[in-house]
Amino acid sequence: MNIGKITGAFKLMGLFLLANVTAIFFLLGLIAINYAIYLWDMQWGLIATGISFILVALIINGESGRG
């Protein structure tokens, strides 16, 4: 097995995560908010999940240039 391929793969994964750190933190924040709301009440948690899906869909649509 070539150790250079493994090292290169880890380097690419690190660069990918570093390039998308803002999106990763945004999604982690949504997860934390949803989890906190689910701890409070199940129905409000489902509503918060739906709002989160709509928010992410609007952001993706805006970035793709179709919106």
13-66 pLDDT, tens digit per residue, is 989 888 888 888 999 999 999 999 999 999 999 999 999 999 999 888 877 776
Judge whether 8 lies within some domain: no
Judge whether 39 lies within some domain: yes
Judge whether 26 lies within some domain: yes
Domain count, the chain: 1
3-state helix, strand, coil in the chain (%, to 5): 90, 0, 10
The two structure tokens encoding residue 4 = 């250079």
Q: What pLDDT sits at residue 45?
A: 93
The two structure tokens encoding residue 58 = 């609007």
Judge whether 7 lies within some domain: no
